[in-house]
């Protein structure tokens, strides 16, 4: 079994995200994105794309969401997106916010 460092890779990346997927696991079945939004940071696009679905979880702090779902996503709460549905994440808070996106292939798009 392999253990993956995720949080520190996201914090130290230029985009503030780390994608744990095929490159690390060798599997196309699922992936995980750990992301950090700085205070007052806006416009992180979330869009699974054709043949994919994603669950977005506010891991630390509350997020403002605009798009297919709009509203406040409180820490510990999640929503689901499918295909071309899209949202933008914003951090309205005064400290870093973290989110997790868990994704995979829809039934019709399995590799």
Distances (CA, A) of 50 to 16, 36, 78: 24, 25, 21
Structurally, how many domains does the chain consist of?
A: 1
- The answer to the question of residue 69 being in a domain is yes
- The answer to the question of residue 28 being in a domain is no
- The answer to the question of residue 50 being in a domain is yes
- The answer to the question of residue 45 being in a domain is yes
Query: Chunked in runs of 10, what are the mean pLDDT values of the chain (111 residues)?
Result: 90 91 89 96 93 96 96 98 97 97 80 48
**Is residue 72 classed as helix, strand or coil in its secondary structure?**
strand
Q: What is the CATH number of the domain that holds 47?
A: 2.60.120.10
- The answer to the question of residue 102 being in a domain is yes
Residue 97's nearest CA partner among 2, 28, 6, 10 is: 10
pLDDT tens digits, 12-35: 898 899 999 998 998 889 999 999
- The answer to the question of residue 19 being in a domain is no
- Say which residue the tokens 């005064």 belong to: 94
pLDDT at position 50 is 95
- The answer to the question of residue 59 being in a domain is yes
Torsion of CA 10, 99, 92, 46, to 10 degrees: 90
Structural domain span for residue 71: 38-106
- The answer to the question of residue 71 being in a domain is yes
Distances (CA, A) of 106 to 28, 48, 90, 93: 12, 10, 27, 34
Average pLDDT over the chain, rounded to whole?
Answer: 93
């Amino acid at each position: 079994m392999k253990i993956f460092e995720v949080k520190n890779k996201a914090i130290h990346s230029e985009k503030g995200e780390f994608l744990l997927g095929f490159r690390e696991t060798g599997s196309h079945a699922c992936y995980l994105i750990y992301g950090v939004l700085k205070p007052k940071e806006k416009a992180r696009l979330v869009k699974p794309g054709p043949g994919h679905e994603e669950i977005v979880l506010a891991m630390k702090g509350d997020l403002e969401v605009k798009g297919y779902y709009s509203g406040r996503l409180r820490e510990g709460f999640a929503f689901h997106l499918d295909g071309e549905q899209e949202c933008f994440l914003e951090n309205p808070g005064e400290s870093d916010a973290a989110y997790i996106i868990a994704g995979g292939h829809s039934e019709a798009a399995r590799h």
